[in-house]
């Protein structure tokens, strides 16, 4: 009720422990707090908060227009309601290395378990689009070093994302990943890998967990968790899946109202009021509210 029952530190420590175990962690993207609760209830391992989704939620393209305040606020709202560790997309860190340091501390304060910071040039663009540019290795490592040095909770996960595959190829990706680990990255996110062999090459080259981005309509095939695990991947994100499903359903509903004058035909596919209340744990709020209004002070007492 109201908030997660575990502390942010405990969720960060749990994330690191799970990663150290060699498991493959599945982290669907939550586009609001309610979907984070659903992700937890269904038994997933973590919650991912996508920069592309946060941008779309504001009616903006994913080209670096969102601010640190917007991202930290929304990510904090999502992290607040789940006992799962939440990983957030922090783009390029929202500025120079000092800005990166502030970004990490604000995300710590918001209750996130970790973030990833990428090596694109500002303004960045979606990782699965063409025409990307990346900063040189010196700038990329400055960002990660600033992030690692700025955290106050050593359990906060600093992940480095590199987009260099689309610009310079796989060998450059491996060299960049090694440099980012040397700079303090706790995990590596190699964006837009072409196949399982490329994921395996990166995972073999670095001594930290590797993340795979299984986004629809992107440059990577939609591999299964078992396939990715066999390639050495330890985290899998599905960043925009739930938003795309929800928006597809919303379009169909609106079109039906226009066509028929009623939403009645869509009701069977809707989440029911009872199911929504179950997910929200409405009964606990009701019990808590009743306990306030039915409270009676003890006779002769001062309470």
Active site residue ranges: 48, 62, 89, 91, 116, 118, 126, 161, 191, 213
- How far apart are the C-alpha atoms of 212 and 196, rounded to whole Å? 10
- How far apart are the C-alpha atoms of 78 and 32, rounded to whole Å? 6
Query: At 67, which helix (H) or strand (E)?
Result: none
165 and 191 Cβ atoms separated by less than 8 Å: yes
Q: What is the 8-class DSSP label of residue 184?
A: T
225 and 24 Cβ atoms separated by less than 8 Å: yes
Sign of CA dihedral 209, 161, 215, 58: positive
**Paired tokens of 190:** 């190699």
Report whether the peptide linkage leading into residue 123 is cis, meaning its omega lies within 30 degrees of zero. yes
- How far apart are the C-alpha atoms of 74 and 150, rounded to whole Å? 21
Query: At 295, which helix (H) or strand (E)?
Result: none
102 and 76 Cβ atoms separated by less than 8 Å: no
Contacts 24+ apart (CB under 8 A), 283-291: 284/1, 285/1, 288/1
Query: At 219, which helix (H) or strand (E)?
Result: none
Query: Residue 191 phi/psi, 5° resolution?
Result: -80, 145
162 and 121 Cβ atoms separated by less than 8 Å: no
| CA dist 224 → 41, 191, 196, 214, 230 (Å) | 21, 17, 10, 9, 10
């Amino acid at each position: 009720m109201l908030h997660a029952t575990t502390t942010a530190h405990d969720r960060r420590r749990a994330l690191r422990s799970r990663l150290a175990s060699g498991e493959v962690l599945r982290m669907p993207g939550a586009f609001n707090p309610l979907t984070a609760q659903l992700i937890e209830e269904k038994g997933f391992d973590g919650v991912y908060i996508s920069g592309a989704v946060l941008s779309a939620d504001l009616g903006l393209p994913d080209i670096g227009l969102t601010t640190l305040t917007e991202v930290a606020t929304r990510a904090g709202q999502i992290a607040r309601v789940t006992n799962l560790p939440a990983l957030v997309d922090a783009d390029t860190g929202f500025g120079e290395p000092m800005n990166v340091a502030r970004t990490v501390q604000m995300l710590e304060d918001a209750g996130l378990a970790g973030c990833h910071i990428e090596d694109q040039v500002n303004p960045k663009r979606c990782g699965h689009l063409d025409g990307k540019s990346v900063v040189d290795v010196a700038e990329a490592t400055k960002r990660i070093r600033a992030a690692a040095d700025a955290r106050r909770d050593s359990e906060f996960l600093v992940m480095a994302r590199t987009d260099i595959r689309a610009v310079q190829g796989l060998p450059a990706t491996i060299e960049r990943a090694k440099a980012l680990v040397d700079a303090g990255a706790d995990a590596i996110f190699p964006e837009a890998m072409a196949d399982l062999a490329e994921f395996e090459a990166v995972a073999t080259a670095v001594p930290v967990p590797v993340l795979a981005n299984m986004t629809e309509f992107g440059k990577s095939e939609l591999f299964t968790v078992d396939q990715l695990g066999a390639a050495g991947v330890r985290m899998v994100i599905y960043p925009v899946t739930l938003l795309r499903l929800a928006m597809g359903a919303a379009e169909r509903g609106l079109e039906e109202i226009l066509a028929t004058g009623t939403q009645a035909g869509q009701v069977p596919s809707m989440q029911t009021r009872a199911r929504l209340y179950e997910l929200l744990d409405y009964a606990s709020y009701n019990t808590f509210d009743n306990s306030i209004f039915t409270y009676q002070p003890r006779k002769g007492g001062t309470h």
